[in-house]
Amino acid sequence: MRRTPAEQQLYDELCAYEQNGCALLLDGQLSTPGKVVHACFREHCSFMRDIVEDENSVIREIDFIRIKDYSR
């Protein structure tokens, strides 16, 4: 499936984070850029980013946490 420009932008951003050693999580579970993009754009819900930095202010982990489910 082709990505929209907004989906591609998020995918590229997350790939860059991942290549720099940042872990990507989806509701606390290790994930991939593609799965996060799919959840953010294809599921009927909203997500909040929980960003974890190390002692040098380098982002080490981003957890996408489901905060609102619109399908109910």
What per-residue confidence (pLDDT) applies to 62?
Answer: 98
Beta-bridge partner residues of 29: 26
pTM of the predicted model as reported, rounded to 2 decimal places: 0.87
Q: What is the rounded distance in angstroms from the CA atom of residue 62 to the CA atom of residue 27?
A: 10
Burial 23-48 (b: 16+ CB within 10 A, else e): ebbbeeeebebeebbbbbeeeeeebe
Quick: pLDDT tens for 16-70. Answer: 999 999 999 999 999 999 999 999 998 888 999 999 999 999 999 999 999 977 6
